[in-house]
Structures are given as structure tokens and as C-alpha cells.
Structure 1
Amino acid sequence: MHDIRFIRENPAAFDAGLARRGLAPLSAEILALDEQSRAIKTQLQVGQARRNEASKLIGQAMAAGDKDKAEALKAEVAKLKEDMMWLEVDEQTHSETLQDRLAAIPNLPADDVPEGADEDANVEVSRWGTPRAFDFAPQDHADFGPALGLDFEGGAKLSGARFTALRGQMARLHRALAQFMLDTQTGVNGYEETNPPLLVRDEALFGTGQLPKFAEDLFRTTDGRWLIPTAEVSLTNLVADQIVPLAELPVRLTALTPCFRSEAGSAGRDTRGFIRQHQFEKVELVTICAPDESQAEHARMCAAAEGILQALALPYRKMLLCTGDMGFGARKTWDLEVWLPSQQTYREISSVSNCGDFQARRMNARYRPEGEKQTRFLHTLNGSGLAVGRTLVAVLENYQQADGSVIVPEVLVPYMGGVTVLEPKS
């Protein structure tokens, strides 16, 4: 959500930010709606003042025995009451129209975000690790994974396309990855483990920006609740409508949850394999902090996600997303992309975003700076640390052997009960 006061005072800067997002100027439209709403509020204030004044004069007229004046004043009060009733309806309509318009506009990009229309304009920041030199042609995980327990047919039979069952050693490796991630983010990086609801109301998805714009990408239950597309929704909304004590900031939360996405906007992409599923697990990282902390927290969160990839010895690169590739609520995003040998390219495995006060305004999440009476909006950040399924794919492909087996990364062996190799079924 955008600050209407900022738009009033900086219309050119607001439009310039939208232009970097590839959007047409909107300040004139927004300010016109704002002016209409403010004008109606002024009429209401004038009417209320006159109504109060006339009500007092009625008593004075009655005390003076001027019945005609008293009746005229009563008629004026009645007319004012009726007029104000309609003005209140009009004001509410204009206010809701303005809020709905503001809610549909994406966050403005930070100054250091590169301009561009799509992912081709993203900027590589760094690389870590060297892709493995295979002495055989590396296979796609979708080809050798079924012999290890990736049951694509079973999942599709139960639920349709983009659902997969994990069996035996594959299920255990998936669990090992998730537990290793969660243990690292809590024990090493200081995020508080949380077990949040998977079903949320409209308000929660509005708060983090998925509603109303991205409803088609979500799954909804028959009683009007929504399955979370990411634990970001549940975790961030834990501070909705709150004034968080300054001493408690920054709040750092993590959760391992299933996530559910209809993938309506990705028809035809990654239909094969385990990369893009309707149901998947993810270890999410969320930070709620004061504005002057968010830049440092963004770097800290990205390092926490990178640490998982480094511990697994998976080559990756860090990308700074351009204005045309960032998410709706983000003002700056780094993507981590892991190397997949079968595709000979890097694929996204984590997005780490600083949303500034954009989500906090939608959630009314605030704090009170030391020595100040007025509250301010918090800053929120979120990132994957990591997407478990995509990490599983990366491990399978980077650690595959010529005989179809897969070496278990050293850090996962304790989580695998000492198992060091996944062996294909004969």
C-alpha cells in the first residue's frame, strides 16, 4: 500500500517510480480521487459544526419563547442530518475507491534496482562454486529419479498433473533437507521456529499483497479460507494490527510448511519433473524490523539462504532482479539460482525481498520510535531458506553417478541415519 501523503508531496517521484516498473503515470488519477474524498470530508465537518451550532440555538430560541425560530432551526437540523447521511455514504464510497486503487499499485523499486522489462535485464551479483565436470552425460532428475523413489505416476494418479509422491529413501532425503535447513536457520542464524496456520482469511493475503491481484494463483476452500502459497503470509501477518515494542525488533521468524499454488500464470512451464508443483515444502524466512534496519537485514537474510547452498556444496549465482521481474510487493529482490547440470543453466531456488513499509501499511503493523509519540510503519522482508523440492532436484542432479545412484551430501548424512548413497531399485 502506498502513502497518500507521499504522493501528494511527491507526485513526480511517484510517477517516476511507476515508470521504472513499466507503468503509466497515476499520480493525477490518485490525487483527483484523494481531492474528492477530502472535499466530502470537509463538507461533513462543516455540516457537523453547523448542526451542533443549530442544536444549541434551538434551546436558546425555546428559552426566549421564539417558537417560529425554534421550528425553523429544527427543520434545518433535520435537513442537515439527512444531507450528512448521504455525504457519509458518498465519502465512504470515494474512500474505498481510493484505497482499492492504491492497493492495486505495486511497490516502488529502490534506487539501486536496475531497470528492465523482464529477467533478461537482471544483473548477476556473484557466483559461488564451480559446476562439476561429469565424465558421463548428466541426466535430468525426471529420468533417473523414479528409480530412487520419485513417484510421478502415483502423485498424478491421486491428484493430477504437478503432484508427486516421494517414497522410501527419496522421502527421507526430502525430510533430511528440510530438517537441515530448519536447524540451520534456527540454531545458526537465529530465526525463531514457528508452526503457523496453513489456512488464512482474505485479510492475511491482502496484507502481504497476494490479494486482490493474484487470486487466480491461489487455492480457496469452500468456506472462504485460502491455502497459503508461502509461509510468508502467515508469518508476516503475526504482527498485523499491532504496535510491536521497539525492544522486540527485529523479529526474525522461520517456518517449514507445505505451500500450495495453482500456477495459473505458468501454463506450459516445467511441466516435467519436480521443479514446479502445486504442493511443495519450503523453509521460509521473515523479518519484521525498523526502517533503518531493513537494508542490513536484507543482506543478512540472503546470507542465511546462501549458507544452505554452500553447506550442500551446490554451485549457485546471486542475481539482482530488475524492475520488470520483481514481485508485486518488493522494492528490492535478490534471487539465488542453483546450477542444474541436465539443463546446463542456473535455476531459481530462493527469492529474498525487502518490501519496505509496503506490506506493513496494508497490515497496519507499526512500532513507536524511542522518544516519539507517533507510531511509524515497520519494514518487512521475506525469503526462502530454501525451497525444499527444488533443493532436492539440485542435490539429485549435482550428486548423480553414472550407475543411477546419488551421493548424499556430507552435511545430510546424520539426518539420513548414516546413509551415504541413494541406490536405484534394480
Structure 2
Amino acid sequence: MLQIAFIRENQEKVVTALAKKHMDAKAIVEEIVQLDENRRSTQVELDNTLAESNKLSKDIGEMMKNGEKAKAEILKQKTVALKEKSKDLSEKLEVYASELTQKMYLLPNLPAEIVPVGKTPEENLNVFQEGDIPVLHEGAQPHWELVKKYDIIDFELGVKITGAGFPVYKGKGAKLQRALISYFLDKNTDAGYQEYQVPHLVNADSGYGTGQLPDKEGQMYHVGLDDLYLIPTAEVPVTNIFRDVILNENDLPVLCTGYTPCFRREAGSYGAHVRGLNRLHQFDKVEIVRVEHPDRSYEALDGMVEHVKDIMRELKLPFRILRLCGGDMSFASALTYDFEVFSTAQDRWLEISSVSNFETFQANRLKLRFRDKDGKNQLAHTLNGSSLALPRVMAGIIENYQTPEGIVVPEVLRKYTGFDIIN
């Protein structure tokens, strides 16, 4: 959430910046500023009324001591009126504050200056590419055919148990999945990230804290009876560990990692581009989250990008990095880099990771602060990244490592799988 003081003092800047995310924010910004003005003027009136009431109470006490009961009774009638006025003003203030908060929840984060202008994924900026695209043998197949051939992932069984988008991993497919999770976690903890195991359901406060609510409400599975949400990513519960927390400056940076299943409704996703593992309702992901000093968060973002690069190099998969344009960015992000793996069998790039800096946007919602050297509380910066999302990594491995003899397991994973090939 943007800070109200910043919005009030930079209305044109906010409107111009959000235009890069293809939002016409002029009307809502003006409404927010007016609500804030109403809230502040009501607060001043309430403070003055309470001060006047307190002064009259003291005066009444003095009059009673001096035997001036008649005068005291007159003032008592005034205090009754002032108390009623204070009650009305408090209720009015509460309404303004609630309306202001709800309106501010609707404003996305401002994109960083280096975010490219654009509306569609085709306008994202390719900033890095590495790895040779393998030349596959004649008769090479996409992963949804290969998993049937080697009986390692069963999509139809998932449909039977739950529905489309809930695959069942079997035998060596399940072991390969588990190997990737263990490998990712080991890479992250070796890099200084502390591992967490977190709940897979969160309350609404957690959803609002990281920006999934109200923006992504329709994409989240909601358990209505308990008013809980299945997590779309480990970012939500891990980042909310620090909700309403004040850290010391020397505690920064805080580095966290965690593995969770992720649940996304993905309403309206159909077609060949979402076949097989390309888009699922339930999938596994290992996440990295950082809480950083504002002066160092973009340096930390670069470090996270390098960390994911290292993983891709060890998996020996061809990949590229895109700096997302304004129209393709998430609601809460200030700057996002997407990693994509090249699927040779599908002849297309598949997104496997997003690494983002949210600056103070999440921290303001979370009330996540740190105490600086002068003893003042400041909002921290939060960052997160996929390290990595498993379905499309699996798809990339299955397709790019296929041979006439079977699917070769990347060398870095063999100590986890216990086998070199799936055949």
C-alpha cells in the first residue's frame, strides 16, 4: 500500500506512474486525497472538542471546591453536549478512516523508473540469455506425451481424484519432483536463507498484507466456513511472519526460504499453451523472501537474480531473463524480473520464476518496520522470488533431456534421485 503522505504530496506523480501499469488513477487519487482531508479535519475537530471538554471538567472541579455549584451545573450541561459531539465525531472519523483504507487498497504499487513501457508480455525487455538450445532426436515429444510413455505423471488420475490441473506424480516422477525441492532448498540455505515450514492456509489479514487481497481474490481458493485462503505462493505466509514486527537495523537483511504447495484457480485459462504442466491449479514451489534496508534492496534484488541464474546453470537448462513492462507486472511489484526456460519440444519459452522488489508497498500494509540508528522507525523493503516453481522446470527437464533411451536426469540432481535416467 502506498503511503498517504506520499500520495497527498505527489498526486500527479502517482497518476503518471500508474499510467505505466495501464491504470487511470486520477479519479481514485483525488478521492483518496479528499477522504484524507476529511479524516484529518475531523480528527482536528475531535481533538479540539476533547480538549475543551477536559478543560471544562477541570473548571467544574474548581467551582465545586469553591462552592459555586450553580455555575458548575451550567458547565456540566456543556460537557454533556461536548461528549455527544465527541461521540459523533469519533464515529465519523472511523467511517472516513475505513473508507480511506479500502480505497488505498485499490492502488497498485508504483513501477520503478527502469520498468519498460508496455502492455503485453511481448513488450517485456529481454535483458539476459544463456545456454544452448539442445537439438532433439527425431520423434521427440512434448512432456505431456513423455510422462504417459514413462508413467511418471498421471493427469487423468488427477482429474478423477480432484479435477483438471491437479496431476498425480508417480514413481520416478515423484522422486524427481522431490529431488528438485530438496536441491532448491539446499541451494537456498547454503546461500544464507533460513528455511521455514509454514501453513498452507492463511487468513484475510495475511492476504491483504502481501497484496493478494483484494487484487487476486478471484484467483484464490477460499474456505468459506473458516474464512481462510489456500496460499497461491509461500510468499504470503513467509512474509506475514513479519507482520506488525519492528526489527532493529542490525537485524537486516532477513533471508527466508520455504517449500509449499501452491493453489491457484487460474480462471479462464484454456488452450494448448496451458497443456500438461504448463499451468496447474496445484503445484509445488520453493520461495525466497528478503526483508531489506531501503538503501540496499535493489542490490539485494540483483543478488537474487544471480542466485536463480546459478541454479539454472547447474540444471544446464537454456534460460532468459525478462524485465517486465508496466502492463505485465503484478499489483504489488515495483520491479520484476521473470526467468523463462526454453522448452525445445514445445518450441517456446516457459516462465519458471519471478523475482521482485516491492519496496515499502507490502511493508506499509504489514506494518513491518525497523528501528534505525537514530531510534526512528522506518518501513523496510520486501523482496521475493521463485527458486524455483517446479512444474515448468519439470517440463523443461523432461523435454530437453529426452533421448531415444529415456529422460536423462541432470547431474546435479542425481545424488537426490538415486538414478541417472527415467526409462
Q: Same fold by TM (over 0.5)?
A: yes
Alignment of 1:310-389 (within 5 A): 310-370=313-373, 372-389=374-391
Kindly indicate whether residue 195 of structure 2 is the aligned counterpart of residue 177 of structure 1.
Answer: no
Moved over 4 A (4+): 267-271
Aligned match of 2:246 in 238, 243, 246? 243
Counterpart in 2 of 1:299?
302
C-alpha change, 1:336 and 1:118, in structure 2 (3 Å) is: same
Q: Does 1:10 align with 2:10?
A: yes
Unaligned runs of 5+ in 1: none
Q: Is the 8 A contact 2:136 2:402 kept in 1?
A: no
Over the aligned positions, Cα root-mean-square deviation in angstroms equals 1.4
Letter in 2 for 1:218: M
Residue number in structure 2 paired with 1:411? 412
Kindly report which structure 2 residues correspond to 1:56-205, keeping only aligned pairs within 5 A, or say none.
56-148=58-150, 149-187=152-190, 189-205=191-207
Shift of 1:271: 4.3
Question: Could you give the per-residue CA deviations for residues 131-172 of structure 1, whole angstroms, max 9, x where no partner exists?
Answer: 112231431111121122111111111001111111111111
Contact between 1:138 and 1:341, CA under 8 Å: does it hold in 2? Answer: no
* Structure 2 Cα separation of the partners of residues 328 and 296 of structure 1: 22
**8 Å Cα contact 1:245-1:367 kept in structure 2:** yes
Question: Residue in 1 aligned with 2:228?
Answer: 225
CA distance in 2, matches of 1:303, 1:258: 25
Amino acid at match of 2:415: P
Structure 1 equivalent of residue 267 of structure 2: 264
CA distance in 2, matches of 1:183, 1:8: 46
Deviations 1:213-267 (A, max 9, x none): 2111111223122211110011111111111122221111111111111112535
Determine the C-alpha separation between the residues in 2 that align with 1:210 and 1:266: 19
Please give the alpha-carbon distance, in whole angstroms, between the structure 2 residues aligned to 1:249 and 1:280. Answer: 31
Query: What letter corresponds to residue 80 of structure 1 in structure 2?
Result: L
Q: Deviations over 1:59-103 (max 9, x none)?
A: 233344444322221111001111111110110010111111111
- Counterpart of 1:252 in structure 2 is 255
Q: Indicate if the aligned counterparts of 1:217 and 1:265 stay in contact, CA closer than 8 A.
A: no
The amino acid across from 2:59 in the alignment is L
SS of match in other structure, 1:105: coil
Report the secondary structure of 1:42's partner residue.
helix
From 28, 32, 35, the counterpart of 1:33: 35
Specify the SS of the correspondent of 2:328. coil
Question: What SS does the aligned partner of 1:244 have?
Answer: strand
Q: CA deviation at 1:176?
A: 1.1
Structure 2: which amino acid aligns with 1:180? Answer: Y
Residues 319, 334 of structure 1: 8 Å contact kept: yes
State the distance in 1 between where 2:271 and 2:72 align.
76
Distance 1:87 1:177 in 2: 58
TM-score, length basis structure 1:
0.95
Q: 1:256 to 1:361 in 2, by over 3 A?
A: same
Question: Is the CA contact 1:162–1:271 (under 8 Å) kept in the aligned structure 2?
Answer: no
CA distance, structure 2, for counterparts of residue 300 and residue 338 of structure 1:
20
Measure, in 1, the Cα distance between the counterparts of 2:104 and 2:111. 16
Which letter maps to 1:302?
V
Distance 1:410 1:159 in 2: 34
- Cα distance in structure 2, aligned partners of 1:374 and 1:94: 28
2:216 alignment counterpart? 214
Is this contact kept in 1: 2:136–2:400, CA < 8 A? Answer: no
Deviation at 1:10, TM superposition (A): 1.7
Equivalenced residue count is: 419
- Encode CA deviations 1:256-283: one digit per residue, 9 max, x unaligned: 1111111125355744201211111101
String of CA shifts for 1:178-206, please: whole Å, max 9, x gaps: 1111111112x221111111121111111
Give 3-state SS (helix, strand or coil) of 2:403's partner.
Answer: coil
Q: TM-score, normalised by structure 2?
A: 0.96
**More divergent stretch after superposition (319-328 vs 192-201):** 192-201
More deviation in 33-42 or 50-59? 50-59
Task: Output the amino acid matched with 1:359.
Answer: Q
Q: Unpaired runs of 5+ in structure 2?
A: none
> CA–CA distance in 2 between the matches of 1:387 and 1:73?
70
Q: Taking structure 1 as reference, are residues 144 and 34 closer, same or farther at Cα in structure 2, changes over 3 Å only?
A: same
Distance in 1 between residues matched to 2:139 and 2:356, nearest whole Å? 36
Task: Decide whether the 8 Å contact of 1:123 with 1:319 is kept in 2.
Answer: yes
* CA–CA separation in structure 2 for the residues paired with 1:19 and 1:280: 33
Structure 2 distance, partners of 1:20, 1:153, is: 42
The alignment partner of 1:53 has SS state of helix
Residue of structure 2 equivalent to 1:22: 22
Looking at structure 1, the residues matched to 205 and 270 of structure 2 have their Cα atoms a distance apart, in angstroms, of 28
Residue range with higher mean Cα deviation, 30-39 or 220-229:
220-229
Structure 2 counterpart of 1:411, one-letter code: V
